[in-house]
Amino acid sequence: MARIDPAGPLRGSLRPPSDKSISHRAALIAAMGEGETVVEGYLDAADTRTTLAAVRALGARVEVGPGPAGTDEAWGGPNDPVDGPLRIGGVGLRGAGSATIDVGNAGTLLRLLPGWLAGQDGGQWTLDGDDSIRRRPVDRIAAPLREMGAELRAREDRLPPLTIAGAPLHGIAYEMPIASAQVKSCILFAGLLADGETRVVEGHPSRDHSERMLAAAGAEVSREGNAVVIQPAERLKPGVIAVPADISSAAFFLVAALLVAGSEVVLEEVGVNPTRTGLLSILERMGAEIELEPLGERGGEPTARLRVRPAPLRAVEVGGAEIPLAIDELPLVALAACFAEGTTTIRDAAELRAKESDRIETVVAALNALGGAVEPTADGMVITGSGGLRGGMISSQGDHRIAMLGAVAGIASGDGVEVAGMDAAAVSYPGFESDLASLLVARG
Ligand code: S3P
């Protein structure tokens, strides 16, 4: 249980932790690679340590240290920090050893890894994880992978544990029923080992980190209109992968600074890939002015310094193509909407129900417990601005983004918020509470 009292203003600057999506991909693509890949700025959090442990179980060598001067140390597993550049010795595209993999709480690992494994003939793998993972659907990847020739089994044909028997694959053209970067990436990974070209059509663009990283590692991947096309590959050579700061973590401070009078926060080296910046455009429509100073590319991803100050907010309509661009930030849109004038509607976001928690239910329960006026709908929620939040008690339900949402709500609330299960934040942001404290100036 953590108690977060009303506080502020928030002032100062920090670099949020590295991007979780990009870090998962860096570990996986490095493991697929030939020879050694150096990953600079890998996210050190529970989810991404799980991915390192997974690639090690598949046979990749994982070391943390500055370089080949003999100072590298074998990484010791999920209790060991990643406190320097990572050096990953890949097993090659077809070299993953059979294993049972604990994916912990990591949905991205659960959905991406099978794409790589499915085409490795003769291998056997089982993926399982925590209680939250056991509720997360895998039929969305099993269907296209089976079309490619993969052999997979899942509980009730739709939930983990997921068992994969490596088999020869052939390329397909697949139209995704939902816009999902996880599903897209899974199919692209499988396409590397397939016979012939693989094509994934997405209704709305989703994050494209896999495409960028695969292309940088030498894969033939291209965009044709609303399709991503990948050719089979003999080998990948990632070389060096650098990871920018995570806009999904920066988002908590962006919204906190927007809501608390007198704040001014600067966030450094934040990844601003246009497939991730939906929150910025939504907040701008609500009346926020977020200054974005470009800082060039890091690891093939555009980065920027973001500066935010408070602003009066008005309600907005959010839906359609904007949803995949802001999917993990929609809980924060709902929080901001409690402070806005008018009624905000979030629609086309049924995917929120399949995240680390059912984020329509958990966001509605949390914000209403704090004095908000939020109604759930089948594919989103309707939030009537209530002039702010009173405060109270919430549970994170084990979901890292709900825990951090509760803390931001606490800072901006009238009476403070108690968050049961604040420790869930460590899934993506272990230092969240101390970083938040570092931006807070004592109330005078
Ligand atoms: C992710 C994609 C999104 C997002 C998740 C990370 C990724 O999921 O919600 O936190 O790294 O590809 P979907 O692609 O399933 O929407």
pLDDT digits (tens, 9 = 90+) for 119-137: 999 999 999 999 999 999 9
Domain containing residue 248: CATH number: 3.65.10.10
Q: Contact 110/103 with Cβ under 8 angstroms? A: yes
The response to whether residue 327 sits with its C-beta less than 6 Å from ligand 1 reads yes
Strand partners, 165: 124, 151
Is residue 160 classed as helix, strand or coil in its secondary structure? strand
Ligand 1 contacts CB of residue 273 (under 6 A):
no
Confirm or reject: Cβ of 51 under 6 Å from ligand 1.
no
Same domain flag for 196 and 283: no
pLDDT at 443 over 80: no
Average pLDDT (430-439) is: 97
Please check whether residues 45 and 192 belong to one and the same domain: yes
Residue pair 201/240 in contact by the 8 Å Cβ criterion: no
What was the pLDDT predicted at 444?
42
Q: Are 338 and 386 in contact (CB under 8 A)?
A: yes
**Rounded percentage of the chain residues whose pLDDT exceeds 70:** 98
pLDDT band at 67 (very low <50, low <70, confident <90, very high): low
Q: What are the pLDDT digits (tens) for 393-417?
A: 999 999 999 999 999 999 999 999 9
Alpha-carbon distances of 7 from 25, 183, 343, 411, rounded to whole Å: 37, 41, 26, 5
Does 156 lie in the same domain as 125? yes
CA–CA separation, 61 vs 188, rounded Å?
A: 24
One domain for residues 174 and 272: no
Is 313 in the same domain as 414?
Answer: yes
The alpha carbon of 155 and the centre of ligand 1 are apart by a number of angstroms equal to 22
Strands (DSSP E) contained in 179-309 are: 194-195, 198-201, 221-224, 227-230, 240-242, 264-271, 290-298, 301-308
* Active site annotation includes 328: yes
Are 410 and 345 within one domain?
yes
| 308 and 235 within one domain | no
Q: Whose CA is nearest to atom 4 of ligand 1?
A: 328
Name every residue whose Cβ is closer than 8 Å to that of residue 419 and which is 6 or more positions away in sequence.
1, 2, 3, 4, 394, 395, 396, 403, 406, 407, 410
Tokens representing 117 are 């494994």
User: Is the Cβ–Cβ distance between 37 and 299 less than 8 Å?
Assistant: no
Query: Do β-strands 227-230 and 264-271 pair in parallel, antiparallel, or remain unpaired?
Result: unpaired
Q: With contact defined as beta carbons under 8 Å apart, do 19 and 243 qualify?
A: yes
Which residue's CA lies nearest to atom 11 of ligand 1?
A: 21
How does pLDDT run across 279-301, given as a tens digit for each residue? 999 999 999 999 999 999 999 99
CA distance 213 to 243: 11
pLDDT at 71 over 70: no
Atom nearest to 185 CA in ligand 1: 12
- pLDDT band for position 8 (cuts 50, 70, 90): confident
User: Does the beta carbon of 210 lie inside 6 Å of ligand 1?
Assistant: no
Write the secondary structure of 319-384 as one string of H (helix), E (strand) and C (coil): CCCHHHHCHHHHHHHHHHHHCCECEEEECCCHHHHHCCCCHHHHHHHHHHHCCCEEEEECCEEEEE
Nearest atom of ligand 1 to the alpha carbon of 207: 12
Three-state SS sequence of 66-123:
CCCCCCCEECCCCCCCCCCCEEEECCCCCCCCCEEEECCCCHHHHHHHHHHHCCCCCC
* pLDDT recorded at residue 1: 87
Residues 215 and 288 grouped into a single domain: no
Residue 316 Cα to ligand 1 middle (Å): 24
Question: 211, 227, 242: which is the final residue of a domain?
Answer: 242
CA distance 173 to 241: 29
Q: How confident is the model at residue 28 (pLDDT cuts 50, 70, 90)?
A: very high
R_g over Cα of the chain: 21
Quick one: pLDDT at residue 441? 72
Q: How many domains does the structure of the chain reveal?
A: 2
Q: What is the mean pLDDT of the chain?
A: 96
111 CA closest ligand 1 atom index = 15
What is the per-residue pLDDT for 222? Answer: 98
Examine the domain organization and report whether 189 and 90 are in the same domain.
yes
Verify whether ligand 1 is closer than 6 Å to residue 21 (CB atom). Answer: yes
Please name every residue paired with 74 in a beta bridge, in sequence order, or none if there are none.
63
Q: Per-residue pLDDT for 70 more than 60? A: no
CA–CA dist 254, 329 (Å, integer): 11
Q: Which tens digits make up the pLDDT trace of 164-184?
A: 999 999 999 999 999 999 999
Segment 51-59 mean pLDDT: 98
Q: Which domain holds residue 131?
A: 20-242
Last residue of a domain, one of 242, 267, 302: 242
What is the average per-residue pLDDT within 2-23? 96
Could you tell me the maximum CA-CA distance found in the chain, to the nearest angstrom?
67
Contact 305, 268 (CB under 8 A): yes
Per-residue confidence at 73, pLDDT binned at 50, 70, 90? confident
Rounded distance from Cα 151 to ligand 1 centre (Å): 24
Query: 253 and 152: one domain?
Result: no
Give the per-residue pLDDT at 53: 98
- Indicate the DSSP class of residue 262: T
Residues 10 and 108 grouped into a single domain: no
What mean pLDDT comes out for the span 232-255? 98
- Site to substitute for ligand 1 among 180, 279, 404, most atoms within 8 A of C-beta: 180
Q: Would you say the CB of residue 328 lies under 6 angstroms from ligand 1?
A: yes
pLDDT given at position 100? 98
Entry pTM? 0.97
**Does ligand 1 lie within 6 Å of residue 346's CB atom?**
no
Q: Give the per-residue pLDDT at 293.
A: 98
434 CB neighbour count, 10 Å cutoff = 8
Q: Which residue has the tokens 């809980």?
A: 331
Among 19, 47, 208, 328, which one carries the catalytic annotation?
328
Give the distance (Å) from ligand 1 centre to CA of residue 362. 18
Please state the atom number of ligand 1 nearest to the C-alpha of residue 24: 11
Question: For 306-324, what is each residue's pLDDT tens digit?
Answer: 999 999 999 999 999 999 9
> Which whole-number Å values give the CA distances from 225 to 112, 213, 315, 322, in the listed order?
23, 20, 33, 18
Q: Which of 242, 260, 279 is the last residue of a domain?
A: 242
192 CA distance to ligand 1 middle (Å) = 21
Same domain, 137 and 286: no
How remote is the CA of residue 182 from the centroid of ligand 1, in Å? Answer: 5
